[in-house]
Amino acid sequence: MISNDEKRAARAAYRDRDPEWAICVLRVGARAWVKCVADPAALERRMSFVLRHGRGRGAPAGMAAAFAEAGELSLEVVETLDPDFSAMARETRVKARLAHWAAALGATPL
Determine the topology of domain 20-109 in CATH. GIY-YIG endonuclease (3.40.1440)
- Interatomic CA distance for residues 32 and 106, integer angstroms: 7
Domain residue extents for the chain: 20-109
Q: How far is CA 13 from CA 27, 44, 80, in A?
A: 31, 21, 22
pLDDT along the chain (110 residues), means of 10: 91 84 94 94 92 76 88 94 89 94 94
pLDDT, one tens digit per residue, over 18-33 is 788 999 999 999 999 9
